[in-house]
Structure 1
């Protein structure tokens, strides 16, 4: 099976020409509404592609055997330096671009010649934003949305149908009756889902919730606009009001100073009694003690957590023992589709950087996402 997957990846990732995106990249741009940065990178006075460092994750090397060759082709005559582990910092002193994971120690090791950093993942909360006043940061936002949205819906369905209880009974060979058949949360059709953070990931979650017959509301900081399947889009200051009207609340926020600890006691007190809480954003946006208290009191019906605080969650943490909680180890973005999308857009952004064009998925370093 694994060999078959490798062959599929190789066939699906084609090499772009220096003048235009590959068909796969163009399809993703349209499908996920990927946006270009505001200006071509060639307009930056430091743009002069000479050395690009690529710190390629092992899973990409293994999953996409033709990936390195595709990157080399996209770079044209500009040299790529492929590195792993501790050798990344040593290579950044004279590099103008880095494709890897943005971390403070790497940016500190770079010189002023470093202009562009492409972050493999969507989250950039570990990246020192103050170092990007005169640099460009891009990432994998929106590319992980389909996988994360499916994971979110999986947790929603599992909790609403008592699957944690039933799976535990299966392990003990029990055929449960009685209370196990009550399904107190009820059917999803007609219920309201609040998506907190209607970005690329939040939009994909909202799309799937709507397909299940749910009424979708959302919040976002940028505007009140949203797709047709979202009934109402509020601003951040409407969070508590909308939470009081929602049967399911989804945390799809990036981690910023403004979102750290946002889901606290006051929030859970404001939530509709018996609502479900699903978190796939960042663990530190939720006050764990406040969530546990809300779960224990019944104010919150159940929680699906792909992210926690602390993370990883210690083995003796009481959250593990709560029968109305599903915990997964920050893997909602995982899957073959995500690897494929990240690979395609990284290649496309490398092509654009060498050509001096506007990059995709440019991070607003003032906002932090």
Structure 2
């Protein structure tokens, strides 16, 4: 069996993820495709991840792709997580993962409506959804608060988990909008405030071309392997949230090739992707929390030392802002209230690495400008550095 070393995996990461300076591009959509999908749970992450991969980083280019051209779209998809993907890839993400999640989201909301006992049902939900869509046509993009003022049904409250110790009374607005967004009938438009804000306005969504689910899973697996391979079945299962059966069927459908990994595990690569990548120039990167280059594998031992996990991850397994050198995480960074970008190395580094990190910190501070970034999922090192 062909073997691919951890060193070669780090070389692939730097080149294929567009992190080495010579590999950076000019288009945020290409930056997203370079890692298949950008995490979008935290509004700022999309911008930080995209700009880390651009020769000339800038907020305006990412906003144009998200809101004007809509060539970069947010979908509730892999692992029921919000991702931003290219419009060209969106139909495959929709068919392979997002559709099943949308069905489950609707089923969950209908179950809550039924257990509330207030007579709310699927007909009530359908009427509420149509009222929301009509309000958007009538008044244009609007926040959830604005829609609630315009659509009386969104001001309805229900009791969730009645009779349980965690019983609670909640409004339905967020849940109804989430179901509409999961179905693709509405999408997130420009937020109120800056690019770091999660107070999105909502606008009409779009319908994606129909793709067979198995075909879509195969295509998504193929693209993922080209970016993250070699990787194990467990890695692909973790990233997608698919069943093991779906993972194995997709790998078979794309004729993925088995390879040996350091440590004895068996990995997979896309067909013919066995030749070693040529190492790019030495590179450093400051990546945001939840960046795909840190979150795409279940086993990240080839680029993150185990002893650094307690400083860089929160208790739920979300990674915070990281400092990279030649494909390995060597530290973390944060932004202080006065805007200063600060960082700390968790492992030894020579003068070349330190100088490169300083250059990247300056580059990041330059385009972020007056914005203040507080990760949604905060980690011990980020909290300490930002204090």
Pick the TM interval, shorter chain.
Answer: under 0.3
TM-score (normalised: structure 1): 0.28
Instruction: Please identify which structure carries the higher helix content.
Output: 2
TM-score (normalised: structure 2): 0.27
